[in-house]
A and B are shown apart, each in its own frame.
Chain A
């Protein structure tokens, strides 16, 4: 526990000194929120909708920082530490891989939570957003998205042989998800064919859950996304711990 606390404190300081997560996980979602407001203002999501386009997008915006941290930040920092042989030094100490990974997971969770709070405050105070549905459902969906995105990141970070491959895999996962799952480009404006394709991405499923909770809509089937995302998380976490590479 002492190991965990000390590492968390230090790694958090190092991460904040780096600034990139502050930009990608904290600033970007806010910027996208402002841009959506400029483009769509208070227009309804579609003809006759009871909620605005902005309200519809809130759930998606909340996942941007999860993606930035979980799929980019997390794997890159772990593979950077492997590349710099910091993990090799850790290997000749009693620390276990799960603590090293958990410290980073907590750091990026903190970024995501801070981003969610800021987004919520900005959306409610400046843009008239209100959570229509159940807060509990929203948070449940949010945690599920964190779990599945971070487990992907843990797996990539834990087993990618070097930082180049980690960064390629991270980019291949990150950018399509960010664009096509509805996190930045709204799912609703995509052509149907693209929507079908986007449905494969786990993040799309997560955003659907968040959107439903945020707008107070009924979801056709909550069970499928929940099962798919949980299974993904369990598999990825198990793989990342089992095949963790120190060097």
Chain B
């Protein structure tokens, strides 16, 4: 399988703090890859080093066969990104934000359809500041999908969403995955990870402590539930 995202020996430190240490991973086309770990484990830093919004100290990154820093304009025609924190202009409305985002790409998706599918089309004229946390989260997933991307990066996918909205988002992402979309996501919800991810990587203090399929993660642990296994992995390292 061709690698859509390939990371080799990525390291990044902030001053003396080593945020990411020798992380290697590869994500094939149409795969959903989950990057897991506690807060501060290095998930967001890893994503930002892959995207080029942070400069790694060492290591090689390629996305869709391109180097994010050198081929930025070409690469990001086909890549959607949702950052952990939502960034938007004061006083901008939902439709304005979508319209501007769509205008950045040569082949943008119809954002009205996306708003409809994510259930926030009635908010078209509302200022983004007036949306609820869950609505804003959905809006930023939509923004990541507007480029009609081949690969999306979703940092803290469903944080702030209610149970129903989470299921809706899972369903939409599963459909897109079936059509060949590659997804790299981070999440703190293990039910979500089980429902969506083909392959996971658990980070602890910037290092990979597990890499593989969810079934492998469970069988290599003393537990039979994934959430217990996940906590066992992250805890075990902490007790050293």
Contact = CB atoms under 8 A, between A and B. Distances in A.
Nearest to B77: A94
Nearest to A7: B100
Nearest to B108: A2
Interface in B105-136: 105-106
Contacts of B73: 94, 96
Given A84-B89, A86-B89, A91 B105 contact: no
Kindly state the interface size class of chain A when it binds its partner: 20 to 34
Interface in B33-91: 51-53, 72-74, 76-77, 79, 81, 83, 85, 87-91
A162 B99 CA distance: 28
A35 B104 CA distance: 46
B72 A89 contact: no
Nearest to B101: A93
B76 A94 contact: yes
Tell me which of A89, A93, A246 has the highest count of chain B C-beta atoms within 10 A of its own C-beta. Answer: A93
A247 B53 contact: yes
B92 interface: yes
A85 B100 contact: no
A95 interface: yes
Kindly state the interface size class of chain B when it binds its partner: 20 to 34
Given A92-B81, A94-B105, A96-B73, A18 B90 contact: yes
Given A10-B96, A92-B51, A86 B87 contact: yes
Interface in A1-49: 2-3, 5-7, 10-11, 13-14, 17-18
Contacts, number: 67
A88 interface: yes
Contacts of B85: 85
A89 B100 CA distance: 12
A186 B210 CA distance: 72
A10 B92 contact: yes
* Interface SS, B side: loop
Given A89-B83, A91-B72, A81 B104 contact: no
A92 B100 contact: no
A214 B124 CA distance: 49
Contacts of B103: 2-3, 5-7
Which 3 A-B residue pairings sit nearest by Cβ, starting from the closest? A6-B103, A85-B87, A92-B81
Interface of B: 51-53, 72-74, 76-77, 79, 81, 83, 85, 87-92, 96, 99-106, 147
Interface of A: 2-3, 5-7, 10-11, 13-14, 17-18, 81, 84-86, 88-96, 246-247
20 contacts: A5-B103, A6-B100, A7-B100, A10-B99, A11-B89, A14-B96, A17-B91, A18-B90, A85-B85, A86-B88, A92-B51, A92-B52, A92-B79, A92-B81, A93-B76, A93-B105, A94-B72, A94-B74, A94-B76, A94-B77
Given A10-B99, A86-B89, A94-B105, 15 more contacts: A2-B103, A3-B103, A6-B99, A14-B90, A18-B90, A88-B53, A88-B87, A89-B83, A89-B87, A90-B104, A92-B79, A93-B76, A93-B101, A93-B105, A94-B76
